[in-house]
Structure 1
Amino acid sequence: MALKATEASLDVETLFRALSDRTRLRILNLLRSGELCVCDLVNVLDVPQPTASRHLAYLRRAELVVSRKEGLWQHYRLSASRTLLHEKLLECVEASVALVPELTADLERLRLDGCSERCG
């Protein structure tokens, strides 16, 4: 029984750590709009591809995002909420948009400059 409690607390810690980084928060915010290719995220976030991939790997390990490969590119989307905490944390990301101008700017930049043709 203690093992399950430890696993649960590790899961909570992992989720909070995933949200503690500004770049990962920005990625989660962008993925609220739907599946995106790594190139979309690199373009909007203005970060090198390895940086974006490292943050995406962290989010994948935290089970906040899932990926699929298409050609040379990985495409990411938010994973289905697996716990009430997971669901509520994603609601917090959504609520943060009004409080963090950078999140709104990211969404606008994605809207204006999606790169679907670059990663096809």
Structure 2
Amino acid sequence: MTLRADLLRAGQRARSRYNPSMYRIAVIALVVVFVGLQYRLWVADGGWSEVHRLSQQRAELEARNARASNRNAALQAEIDDLKSGEQATEGRARSDIGMIRKDESFFLTVAPPGRNETSAEKDRQAAR
């Protein structure tokens, strides 16, 4: 007979082959490993927080690129218009440098003293 059967006959409780304190140590070690992996997942470099930050940065860059693309398209349209016709060139010269034709008369309006520049600019725009 075995030692286990002898102990059971004697009224003593049989000792387990496994130590309960070893189970506790193993569970604690597994919990520590799990917490360490969770830390790496949520907080460390390459974790979810960095993924979220990079996705926000990507969205900002896409918005800036869209605005720049719209601006570039408008500038390209203006360039094409200036290359193709005289009216666009003439209009640009009139507005930017104040060009007048030979048969036109030029009238300069001066704002009365005390008026600010923005209202004088509005009057000038209205006269065109």
TM-score, structure 2 as length reference: 0.28
Write 1 or 2 for the structure with the bigger share of helix: 2
TM-score, structure 1 as length reference: 0.29
Write 1 or 2 for the structure with the bigger share of strand: 1
Q: Which has the larger radius of gyration?
A: 2
Instruction: Between the two structures, name the one with larger relative contact order (CA 8 Å, sep ≥ 6).
Output: 1
